[in-house]
A and B are shown apart, each in its own frame.
Chain A
Amino acid sequence: GNSVTQMEGPVTLSEEAFLTINCTYTATGYPSLFWYVQYPGEGLQLLLKATKADDKGSNKGFEATYRKETTSFHLEKGSVQVSDSAVYFCALSVGGQNFVFGPGTRLSVLP
């Protein structure tokens, strides 16, 4: 079956540090890959996505590249801010339905 593995954290960084959250997947077929972010007390919001190999998704300074050869979709940001503190979920979908989510990674950014 389809699955997503991501580092669970928590991850604690100082402001302006470099962020990497690893995500790897297994899937039957050709998945689309997503990163979602959940701020405290809120629902999940789509952060970025990539629909085919070598695509790079980007938004709000975050980036992730769809690597088919390593079945990975690692999330990166060059300089995190306190406002980036949240839980980040990696997810995949085949055929646009029935997403599979990773367990989430809690990020805390200290001033």
Chain B
Amino acid sequence: NAGVTQTPKFQVLKTGQSMTLQCAQDMNHNSMYWYRQDPGMGLRLIYYSASEGTTDKGEVPNGYNVSRLNKREFSLRLESAAPSQTSVYFCASSEPRDGGGYTFGSGTRLTVV
């Protein structure tokens, strides 16, 4: 029962470096999401993928790109990291036909110095 797996769990980047956050789910869900969580800001949607082959911008997409590699995997890329991207990033998946909620990964804590 792995659910949603995110890697890495922690990462420190220098300003301007790039990196990709990985997310994989084993529940055969169609929809996947990337959120960031900042103190006092709650959860903010970065990008989502309603189904394999589609991606859409959320509330705060600037500075990020995503790839829905297949039904299982949805990656988030920071091309040129900035201190403002210091945050905790959560991946989630859902199956709209089930009417159920999101299943979240355990998060990636990213610090950009």
Contacts and interface: CB of A to CB of B under 8 A. Distances in A.
Contacts of B50: 97
Nearest to A36: B101
Interface residues of A, number: 22
B45 interface: yes
Main secondary structure of the interface of A (DSSP, over half): strand
| Interface size class of chain B, counting residues whose CB lies under 8 Å from the partner chain | 20 to 34
B102 A44 contact: yes
Nearest to B90: A43
Nearest to B91: A43
A103 B44 CA distance: 10
A32 B95 CA distance: 14
10 contacts: A42-B106, A43-B90, A43-B106, A43-B107, A91-B101, A96-B94, A96-B98, A103-B40, A103-B41, A104-B43
